[in-house]
Structure 1
Amino acid sequence: MCDYTQVEYACGHLRYTVRAWCVKYQETHKRCPANVVAIEYRLDEKCGTAFI
């Protein structure tokens, strides 16, 4: 399983960002189930403007 960070925004939406790709993904480029290893709160950001 690949390691992900769960990111929570002020609007309540969640996004999952990859922390590290697992060996299986690196070999096949097929995504496997996410393994959430951290939670990050961005309560001062709205999800629609988080990447601008």
Structure 2
Amino acid sequence: MCDYTQVHYKCSHIRYTVRAWCIKYQETHKRCPANVVAIEYRLDQNCGPFQSSK
């Protein structure tokens, strides 16, 4: 399984970002089930292009 970080944003969306690709993915380029190994909170950021200007 590939290791992912679960990221929480101010806009209440959650995204999963890869931390490390597993050997199976590196060989086949087919994604396997995500293995969440960390949770990160970016509560000062929106997740997409609609981020507010400061």
TM-score (norm 1): 0.90
Unaligned runs of 5+ in 1: none
Letter in 2 for 1:19: R
| Root-mean-square deviation over aligned CA pairs | 1.1
Q: Rg larger in 1 or in 2?
A: 2
What are the ranges of 5 or more consecutive residues in structure 2 without an aligned counterpart? none
Aligned length in residues: 50
Distance in 1 between residues matched to 2:18 and 2:26, nearest whole Å: 13
> Which runs of structure 1 show a deviation greater than 2 angstroms over 4 or more consecutive aligned residues?
none
**What residue is the counterpart of 1:20 in the other structure?**
20
